[in-house]
Amino acid sequence: ASNEFCDAAFVYGDSGCNVPPSVSSKILIKGGTVVNAHHKEVTDVYLEDGIIVAVQPNIKVGDDIKVIDATGKFVMPGGIDPHTHLAMEFMGSETIDDFFSGQAAALAGGTTMHIDFVIPVNGSLSAGYEAYVEKAKRSCMDYGFHMAITKWDETVSEDMEIMVKEKGINSFKFFLAYKGSFMVNDELLMEGLKKCKSLGALAMVHAENGDAVFEGQKRMIKLGITGPEGHALSRPPVLEGEATARAIRLAGFVNTPLYVVHVMSIDAMEEIARARKSGQRVVGEPVVSGLVLNDSVLWDPDFHFAASYVMSPPIRAAGHGTALQGALAMGLLQLVGTDHCTFNSTQKALGIGDFRKIPNGVNGMEERMHLVWDTMVASGQISVTDYVRITSTECARIFNIYPRKGAILVGSDADIIILNPNSSFEISSKSHHYRTDTNVYEGWRGKGKVEVTIAGGRIVWENDELKVVPGAGKYIEMPPFSYLFDGIDKADAKYLASLRAPVKRSTT
């Protein structure tokens, strides 16, 4: 029978394509270096029924139990990608990777959970939520939802409450760009920030000044610059810096935490660093493309090649990426996402002759863990424990699902990767597991390879073979009031008291 288990070449079953692969519910990982965000040690890990039940040396098991030798390798929490767009309708297209294909690829790259952005339907959060529940039905990996807010009225405000209290969503994204579609103005942003604060939900911003981008686009078209390079030229770093600063100041005025997604420039990063230095709760998320690529590709005469790199905010000039890496290493930025949002060459071709029509987005879900390892750990910029923190643990803490996710601790979900630092990886659209036909990291060779991925206690990636089951992925509800909200009420009380305090006057 042709059915849901058959539509990907890399889904294997025991006895024919419509049977899920056999599941070993008990697994022992022996002799590896187990890494958490604050500690690493050589020890064993024993899993049963999707949960970590023991982390200690010299665990003995019977012959019937699957044993994986991890000697000389790192045993780490599976990656959590805080920023993806699967099966998203955007700019007149729908992303080519859906929840199944995007997740399967992610698992092959060592990511075991992602958080996707629910886009409202005609502004309706509940309709958007229902649509995404449907899209996510064939998930083979655990996932959670953020939600975008694209208009404001009483229903949206009430729906936000329902999403937080009943649907397991604890974060809302506001787009300061995409004028005419997703963009919100400052008044809406303020309403949203206040509502987020009252619900203990984290406000997220896409920080580019959409009105100024619109102006920049007109300027480029007038100059006759219609190719993919016009995309970057029309929305320079200053517009990202301005919007980042504005969002940070407004979040500070409301006194609620802020999460800045896809930090692509030094300009935006420095605004975040400044705010954090003053004690404001701002989280900055660089994405892999912004960390390791530069904008030279956008000038390539081959439209299809150049267009594959078009995303917003744009990939910046060389120098921004290395600065973002440094900021990540020093803790000025906190975690790494991908903004995975893939369109194939045919879809990108909608923008031939007018860069404004190129659907925005690049790949990354499958490559993130390898590229961050290669660029940050193998290069010596960060420790292995910091690697776990920025690829997994910090995301779990921010979205309030730690230590169920983001840790190798007794009781945590059995989402684990085994990385061999002495092996290597190579990226190509010929071997990646996406549906899309291009890869912005084509030809990248690097150190360190994820040899085994275990998701929900199931070995889904081993010996370069993917064994995934549609429907095996669980929806992870994320409760409000993460650690970022601790003490916010005290700061509010102090502020109110200051308004009523007598004015101190000079005595002379």
What secondary structure does DSSP assign to 338-357, as a single string?
--B----HHHHGGGTT-GGG
Between 17 and 323, CB nearer to Zn ion? 17
| Residue 281, binding choice from ligand URP, Zn ion, none, Cβ under 5 to 8 Å by partner class | none
User: Which residue among 244, 360, 391, 453 contacts ligand URP (CB under 6 A)?
Assistant: 360
Closest CA relative to residue 111, chosen from 433, 362, 397, 446: 433
| Residue 114, binding choice from Zn ion, ligand URP, none, Cβ under 5 to 8 Å by partner class | none
| Residue 360, binding choice from ligand URP, Zn ion, none, Cβ under 5 to 8 Å by partner class | ligand URP
Instruction: Show the binding pattern over residues 190-209: x = contacts Zn ion (CB under 5 A), - = does not.
Output: ----------------x---
Integer distance in angstroms from the first to the last C-alpha of the chain? 92
CB 386 to ligand URP: min, Å: 25
| Residue 289, binding choice from ligand URP, Zn ion, none, Cβ under 5 to 8 Å by partner class | none
Task: Give residues 76-105 in contact with ligand URP (rule: CB under 6 A).
Answer: 85
Closest CA relative to residue 195, chosen from 156, 146, 253, 167: 156
Q: Beta-carbon neighbour count of residue 379 at 10 Å? A: 13
Closest CA relative to residue 284, chosen from 293, 303, 271, 298: 271
CB 309 to ligand URP: min, Å: 10
CB 349 to ligand URP: min, Å: 17
Q: Is 184 in the site for ligand URP (CB under 6 A)?
A: no
Task: Give phi and psi for 289, each to the nearest 5.
Answer: -60, -40
Residue nearest to Zn ion (CB): 206
Between 316 and 389, CB nearer to ligand URP? 316
Pairwise CA distance, residues 397 & 236, whole Å? 32
Between 43 and 360, CB nearer to ligand URP? 360
b vs e for 47-58, b when ≥16 Cβ sit within 10 Å of the residue's Cβ? beebebeebeee
CB 329 within 8 A of CB 363: no
| Residue 361, binding choice from ligand URP, Zn ion, none, Cβ under 5 to 8 Å by partner class | ligand URP
Q: Is 375 in the site for ligand URP (CB under 6 A)?
A: no
Task: Give phi and psi for 406, each to the nearest 5.
Answer: 85, 15
| Residue 6, binding choice from ligand URP, Zn ion, none, Cβ under 5 to 8 Å by partner class | Zn ion
User: Which residue carries 């921004």 as its tokens?
Assistant: 320
**Residue 130 three-state SS:** helix
CB 260 to ligand URP: min, Å: 12
| Residue 17, binding choice from ligand URP, Zn ion, none, Cβ under 5 to 8 Å by partner class | Zn ion
User: Which residue among 167, 206, 235, 432 contacts ligand URP (CB under 6 A)?
Assistant: 206
Q: Is 361 in the site for ligand URP (CB under 6 A)?
A: yes
Q: Is 17 in the site for Zn ion (CB under 5 A)?
A: yes
CB 440 within 8 A of CB 5: no
* Chain centroid to CA 455: 17
How do the residues of the chain divide into helix, strand and coil, expressed in percent and rounded to 5? 35, 20, 45
Structure tokens at 408: 């190798």
In single-letter form, the type of residue at position 314 comes to P
Between 17 and 378, CB nearer to Zn ion? 17
Pairwise CA distance, residues 368 & 235, whole Å? 25
Q: Is 339 in the site for ligand URP (CB under 6 A)?
A: yes
| Residue 110, binding choice from ligand URP, Zn ion, none, Cβ under 5 to 8 Å by partner class | none
Between 48 and 94, CB nearer to Zn ion? 94
In single-letter form, the type of residue at position 447 comes to K
User: Which residue among 113, 341, 376, 395 contacts ligand URP (CB under 6 A)?
Assistant: 341
CB 140 within 8 A of CB 107: yes
In single-letter form, the type of residue at position 364 comes to G
CB 341 to ligand URP: min, Å: 4
Between 276 and 340, CB nearer to ligand URP? 340
Residue numbers of the site for ligand URP (CB under 6 A)? 85, 206, 311-312, 339, 341, 360-361
Which stretches of the chain bind Zn ion, using CB under 5 A?
Answer: 1-2, 6, 17-18, 206, 339
